[in-house]
Amino acid sequence: MIALVLLANPQNRRATLFAQACERAKVSAPAVVSWQEFLADERALERALDKYATSKSTVYLRIESPGELFEVDRAMLARGAQIEEPDTRIRPGYVAARDAARLAPDRGRILFPRQWYRGFVDALRAIERLLAERPWVHVLARPSSIITLFDKEATHAQLDRSEILQAELIRDVHTVEALESALRALEWPAVFVKLRHGSSASGVVALRWTRESIRATTSVSLFQTLDETRLYNSLRIQRYVDERDVRVILSWILSEGAVVERWLPKATYDGDNFDLRVVTIAGKVAHTVVRVGRSPMTNLHLGNRRGDWQRVQTRMSEPQQRALTDVVESVAKSFADCHMLGVDVALDPRLNAPTILEANAFGDLLPGVLVDGRDSYESQVIALSLLSNAL
């Protein structure tokens, strides 16, 4: 028997789909603690876990993404305001805790991502302390690993230590001038500039910059007045060729902390480029989605489409498929204390050289992607049931 406690935004479809998966797997519905409740009173999670202190069930805590709820974002920003910025080279935006609590919703606006991350880290460390006092609770992803996975540079460094093939990074770039100088020195005509603590393509710019021209393809929409600059997430891909606009966007992103990633040529699907989101469960490849896009960004919520994974597999030799599985499962091994990972992988135009683009702590939202009739959530619950029987 297993018992599940879920820290999540209850109104989010992630929580709903996970609860439905538990029902299909004939597992008791998870006890849900909302992020909003936890951030207001950490004892809410303690109480939920302590109900199982003498239970004969195996108790699991699943930490779900706190995103997509503005009230939680405000609370995370207020928490982050109380934590000192650790990197003096970065000059991110800042909002005082009292002002964060009064922020009005501004749909799509990218609000102080570096400060939000500081608040998130502090919350996860509080959970880590709570778990240290409750050794009978099994957590499905260690808070320390989630902290790393929400930091693209730290994730890259951890995978690099495991000698896993990844897209190359330019490090320690905090200004547009430094970026321009680095690109010229390396003779890289094209890169991705990504918020170090962003997700879902938030604050991502695909940049082609030569001595003759500049072009930025991005999910970012720029709003600028004499008094302020605002960036918004857009579901429509934006293209900027005015160097002044591009510099404003890049300056804002770099000031919040960013990674600069070499732009790799990708395999194609019906003439469009594609990459893969691969979900691992208990260290093994489980679910795969082909993300096909005409723009450099393949995220499905940006109007891109799913390709047929079986069709891609028929184009790959057995050694190519084995190489893909090996590199993804090497990532899972590097984060062995995460029951689930979402891993983004690019293949070169010949379907060789599987290269890791990103690893995601909350990368399992793949509605409708079934393996043996199960979605990624149900597969995870079934795996937990088998694991609890072995404990």
pLDDT in tens, 49-70: 999 988 888 999 999 999 999 9
- Least confident range from 42-51, 60-69, 86-95, 305-314: namely 86-95
Categorise residue 351: left if φ over 0, alpha if ψ from -120 to 50, beta otherwise: left
CA count, 13 A, side-chain hemisphere, 85: 18
pLDDT at 391 over 60: no
Cα 224–chain centre separation: 28
113 to each of 7, 80, 192, how far by Cα in Å? 21, 10, 18
Fold topology of 151-165+266-360: D-amino Acid Aminotransferase; Chain A, domain 1 (3.30.470)
Instruction: Output the pLDDT for position 272.
Output: 96
pLDDT in tens, 2-50: 999 999 999 999 999 999 999 999 999 999 999 999 999 999 999 999 9
Cα 78–chain centre separation: 22
Burial class (CB in 10 A: 0-12, 13-18, 19+), 246: buried
How many Cβ atoms sit within 10 Å of the Cβ of residue 212? 5
pTM higher than 0.75, yes or no?
A: yes
- Closest of 115, 117, 73 to residue 93, by C-alpha: 115
379 to each of 65, 340, 345, how far by Cα in Å? 19, 10, 21
List the domain boundaries for the chain. Answer: 1-142+371-391, 151-165+266-360, 169-262
Categorise residue 31: left if φ over 0, alpha if ψ from -120 to 50, beta otherwise: beta
DSSP structure class, residue 218: E
- Least confident range from 9-23, 60-74, 135-149, 291-305: namely 291-305
